[in-house]
Chain A
Amino acid sequence: MTDNELIWRIAGGSGDGIDSTSQNFAKALMRSGLHVFTHRHYPSRIRGGHTYVEIRAKPEEVTSRGDGYNFLLALGDSFARNPKEGAVYGNEEIKPLSENLDDLREGGIILYDSGLVDASEVPDFEERVEENDWHVFDIDLRSMAREHGREVMRNTAGVGVTAALIGMDTEPIEDLMEEAMGSREGILEPNLTILHEAYEMIEEEYDVDHDVKLPEGDHEETQVLISGSNGVAYGALDEGCRFIAGYPMTPWTDVFTIMSQHLPDVGGISEQVEDEIAAACLALGASHAGVKSMSGSSGGGFALMGEPLGLAEMSETPVVLIEAMRAGPSTGLPTKPEQADLESVLYSSQGDSCRVVFAPGTPAEAYDQTRRAFELAYDYHVPAIVIIDQKLSGENQNVPESFFDREPNADPGAVLTEEELAEMPHDEAGKFKRFQYDPENGVNPRSVPGQKGGRFLVTGNEHSPYGHIEEDPDNRVFQMDRRMRKIESIREELDSDPESSHQTYFGPDEAEYGIVTWGSSQGAVREATARLNDDGHSVRAICVSDLMPFPETELTEFLEGVDEALVVEMNASAQFRGLAQKELGRFGEKMNSLLKYDGNPFEPAEVVEGFELQIVEDGTETPAANTRLEPAAGD
């Protein structure tokens, strides 16, 4: 069978160079004219364990990892080498090659390093190969690498063999190797030698009769390969963010690292601080002093930020926080994705929530929505939170370079100049009445320390128009109403321009059934929707990114238009479905859940299966994969 797509899995132990090798190979595929999507799977440790990266390459746009894969390059010590029975690495049983083969498609290729693995020791290997019509290449990549340099260069040998086996021109690979290694003496040359030797060896010594070939594709314009974390960071930079404070935590560290590496070059400041409470407070301090700033964390670290988050709401200090979710509760699965922090992001901190929350679904959306988050935060003096997750932060997708060709926006938002300040009401001593107005959109423009005539007091306590602590009931209601009105105003602003809607739709404009999802599950839902429609179903999907303020009108229209809808999300308690029911106050009967919380993101086939079981079969059957049709415990 010809798939007309390559899904290449490189597997090994953490520390084997899997990441860098796959990153370069993905770029080479992209430069060959293909659309690419990378999926990274890794354990929570520095070395060893089972790691793999999958690169999916097609002539058409790719938005998910796909189902299974068709080319395995098995490298690496703890992973590929056949372990002794019951061997453990840390506290995890070392898994042999065979486990990795479960998702290999029929007719696929296995390329393993015979310097490390003896396939005859892999249980049922021959039988499985025959049964699935797999094509096996046992090549001593290790010896090849040792002969010309160092053992780690077996990755290059593996890439060379791959290129030969799929009929790929090595030129883009060579170019990338030169860009990556050119400056390091004695590295590039042996790598190029190994690449060529591996390539030629296949051409000369092997008969190639499989169908896994590099598809042909052509881009009309230059593409860039970026992750969701890149999208967030570049969106922030283009929006004039020049201050970041953080504490490392997976997967938030990606955004933090990218920002820290670029900010000094553009005159910005990055601070790694003692904890997440401090990190969010620093972002508030810098913002109070007039700089556009951000912070962020993942689950547990974000929990610590609840306190400064509430302070940002009460003191009306703009700030953008990034929540890069991983599986919880507590430290959970540190390197695995989940969409289970939704409720904590919406409601953490005491009091009524007055914040903006967006959950982009792709790297390009991450860029857009981070920019929008900054804009709204600084225009409305509210905290804005962008939720991504381990999946979106680590996976890469190609985006046309021209997508980023936009003007930066350094507008500090609702801030007064000294000339404007002079016109504002002051007391006789010159104190600015910061919170005195009752503006329609709820926003009182602020001043910044150091501005003449702008001084005011701001506090986390309820306060008077001057910012002094004030417990008068009438003032309390007045201030509370004004702050809450900002969120309504933001919803109106978002609704007023349908072109800039953050919700993404797939499938026909009108359909019998709906799929609703949010955040990073978008890619799998997009592909599943296309397949379901190809299979004769009538399905339309909405991928919601606005979580607060909630896109009530858009989702209502969507749900009114379908008979039934499947709500797809990566958590055990159907958090988004619950939010939708709370916000819309109806549609409880129309919404059914498809949930996954095993640490792996949805594959399109799982969404297709979930739809068949839950919508077509009415939920009478249980799904075979690690998915659930209803929340874990009752509901």
Chain B
Amino acid sequence: MNVLRPDSAAAVEEAIATAAAERTPLEITGAGTKRGWGRPVEAAQGLSLAGLRGITLYEAEELVLSARAGTTLAEIELSLAQKGQQLAFEPPDWAGLYGAAPGTQTIGGIIACNLAGPRRLTAGAARDHLLGFHAVSGRGEPFKSGGRVVKNVTGFDLSKLMAGSFGTLAVMTEVTLKVLPRPETAATLLLLGQDAATAVGSMAAALGSSNEVSGAAWLPATLAGRLGIGEGAAVTALRFEGLAESVAYRVAALGSLIPGAAARLEGVASDAFWRAVGNADPLASDPLASDPPASDPARDLWRVSVAPLDGARLIAALPEAEAYLDWAGGLVWLALPASTDGGAARVRQAKGQAGHATLVRAGAEARARTQVFEPEPPALTALSRRIKASFDPLGLLNPGRMVEGR
């Protein structure tokens, strides 16, 4: 595929205007780490933002950072770490899921996919941290929205619309993010041997207490074993972050509220565990295949968002799946034996009406055949289509990525 690599916002504008004149649809990419997600894009030409790099503004005391869209997350995280700060929504790195190089994903791609890690529970997702952006729409017109201050209600909040639009509305050229102090210490309490339903109850109790839990996950014994914890038992993990004395106090307070804590992960061990949970490491590779090629996964991978208490119920309804829970039960990761529809019928039936299920990894054929993202009711479909048409009337940007024919 011919890939355009603009190195300035003006060049992006030029590229899209040309595409509009020639009616050439474009596949919009950052670094290519999540190309396997979503439906295969129906475009013969690529537009890579990877050349649009660099942090353009970083004011630590203002908690704000701006960067060109193709800046790698690794570069941003390095700058933030030097000032003791972080992106609090913990952008995960899914390179492992798709067999891409870790650390290369771009900030534009992260925002476009609205990703978030285990801290989503308390800190929000990418959408909650995008203060403003510059972009070029499918009309070839540059526009901006939002700003660089945290409190802003001036005009419609187009930042929310950009986050999670998978590059189908506009190509972001620069983003401005809210950053936050990195917690001074972290510790993770492990409860061993709970089944999913019991774990969901424990997590609800923990999050309903005033102990400020910033991560709550459950892994069955096999998956915990793959991360080297749990000693053969299922693991319920609760994270605490902040000042050392506060973490110690809250760990103790929670320990007496929910007895049975068997172990603790401190510092780097705690960090590594939550990174693995966010990156879907326990399910990323296929333990059944000897050397699974990432492009041809042997198992279909689903990411399902439900009300926290429904997580355990969903797992029980899919006994053939390997699964674990993040977000206190509200995020269910599932691996199913590969099938022609990616398992969509099974998963959506088990999930029921509420929540949404996304096929995160499957062969290209399954992804083209099935609705990768949650199907929308008709009134919402019509509205989403009108929104797409308003930003990208010619259907140039990532056609087919989210929904067939759009």
Q: Do A and B bind each other?
A: no
